[in-house]
Structure 1
């Protein structure tokens, strides 16, 4: 019996159970805060799956296309039957329904209810998959097994705090794609052509999910340089940019007639916002509790400590990646993102997670190196 419970497969089962609980908690924290932007005239789920949302939101079509494709493969009679059951009015007060206690939920609209549930659960599974990918990235960065297991969970639990000015299902797929790209880039070499092809395919899907991945791809160069010559690493980055650019151009052409604009210039709003000390002390409800916002003095102090503690242990390739991601993301954040919208610093997620894993490794090692505390010592 003990051999069974000591088996690596059983330990993976326990890890999977833990990550399922973490992913469920995070998705609930996100959904309680933002739902799927139900009823929003510019970017509600119904507008996203129908392709009528405003630009630039309508460009984020990867998940809506998946939901539309899955529904399209089912017989119309089955779709009608499932939708009717999912949209039952009694689900408004049911713990089994996404619309519970929210009569305006698009989950109760028969034309969209199946796709609504598909998008919701696809988002959950994307986060769950991301946790395992993130664990592998932490191990590649040099964290020990315990820290590499905890850091993805902590990073994921922070995500609802980062969703301060908006929260969207494609944010979780962006996390999966970015972490997957980092993992593939770290192991890419001339002897792994399939890994390079997988990275190109992932880039296409990531740009389909969110056009910001185009700007993230140059930050993969230091990781590619770990095992590739300079010219080949640069050529790979150029190929990634080309794939992302083609996908983005196709989306822009497809939705050129939609209302809205490609970007909003927000530099002056951002400068005024960050110059106001009161904005660094705001609170909001996250996980159902009034807590400091993701952007503020508390988070800045916490992340500064994590960075200082983990930076010395961070591999050189990851350091260069972090600095390049920061140099790309910060100007874009100040120029085009809403004030305090922490989710738009997402290019820094891989670096933050690795720094957290290495900090945890260091702190836990200190604890294990301490002499055991006994009653004799206490006396």
Structure 2
């Protein structure tokens, strides 16, 4: 038994158990705060799966398409039987139901309930997978094993705080795609054609999930330059943008008749919001407790400290990636995002994870052993 408990396989089992608990806690924090926008006239899950949601929300069709496909593959009698059971009114007071103590939940609508549950659990598994991918990225960034294991859990637990002004199931899938794109780009070379092919496919799926991935795509260029000549890296990024753009244009054409607009211009509202000192001190209920909002002076100070500790140890290619992501994301954030909507700074999630892991690597060392270190190379 001792050999079993000391084996690498058992350690992976324990890590998996820990990450399952973390992902479940994060999903609960998200779901109790926003649910799946049940009943919202413009972007509820029922409208998303039926393709009648307003633009731009209706463009985020990757998960709804999966749910529709899974339901369509099942016999109609099976769908009817499962839907009837999932929509039982008794589930309102049952700990096994997503509609627990929420009479307005679309999880109780027979026509939607199966797809509702499919999307909920696919979102959970996407978040769980993102934790493992994030851990691998942190290790490649130079963090030690303990810090690289803890950092994804901390970043994931912060996500419900970042979901200010709205929270959506596709935000967690976006995290998985972004972390996967960074990991693939880190190891891409002419000797890894499958990795390059996976990157092309991933970009298409990620844009299907959320059209903003088109703007994230150029940020992998510095990572590609590590193993590819600049011209080839630029050509690959151009190919990625082409794939992403084609998917986005297809979505725009498919849902051109839906209500809404492609983007909303928010610059002046944002400038007024951020100029008001009171908006930096707001609170909201997250994880069932009234706490500072994801956008505010507390989170700003915390992120500044993490960046100050982690930046000197961050590899040069990841520094360039972070600066490129910031230079793209910040203008888009100010121009088109609702005031204080921190979730729309998502292009910085990979950088935050790496900085968190490297800061923890430093902080977990005994003070006597700390030395000024140059940025570690990506292995």
Structure 1 length normalisation: TM-score? 0.97
CA drift at 1:369: 3.9
Aligned-partner SS, 1:365: coil
CA drift at 1:368: 7.8
- Distance in 2 between residues matched to 1:37 and 1:322, nearest whole Å: 31
1:243-268 deviation line (CA, Å, top 9, x unaligned)? 00000000000000000000000000
Aligned residue pair count: 370
Q: Which runs of 4+ in 1 moved over 3 A?
A: 367-370
- Distance in 1 between residues matched to 2:295 and 2:108, nearest whole Å: 34
1:1-379 → structure 2 map (5 Å cutoff): 1-366=1-366, 369=369
CA drift at 1:312: 0.5
Change (3 A) 1:71 1:239: same
1:322-347 deviation line (CA, Å, top 9, x unaligned)? 00000000000000000000000000
Aligned-partner SS, 2:166: coil
1:126-160 deviation line (CA, Å, top 9, x unaligned)? 00000000000000000000000000000000000
- Distance in 2 between residues matched to 1:54 and 1:101, nearest whole Å: 28
1:57-112 deviation line (CA, Å, top 9, x unaligned)? 00000000000000010000000000000000000011100001111100000000
CA drift at 1:209: 0.1
Counterpart in the other structure of 1:374: none
Q: Note the residue ranges of structure 1 that are not aligned, 5 or more in a row.
A: 371-379
- Distance in 1 between residues matched to 2:338 and 2:217, nearest whole Å: 23
Aligned-partner SS, 2:265: coil
Q: Note the residue ranges of structure 2 that are not aligned, 5 or more in a row.
A: 371-379
CA drift at 1:365: 1.3
Change (3 A) 1:286 1:368: farther
- Distance in 1 between residues matched to 2:119 and 2:57, nearest whole Å: 15
- Distance in 1 between residues matched to 2:210 and 2:367, nearest whole Å: 42
- Distance in 1 between residues matched to 2:42 and 2:212, nearest whole Å: 19
CA drift at 1:56: 0.2
- Distance in 1 between residues matched to 2:281 and 2:339, nearest whole Å: 14
Structure 2 length normalisation: TM-score? 0.97
CA drift at 1:367: 5.1
1:11-54 deviation line (CA, Å, top 9, x unaligned)? 00000000000000000000000000000010000000000000
Change (3 A) 1:12 1:367: farther
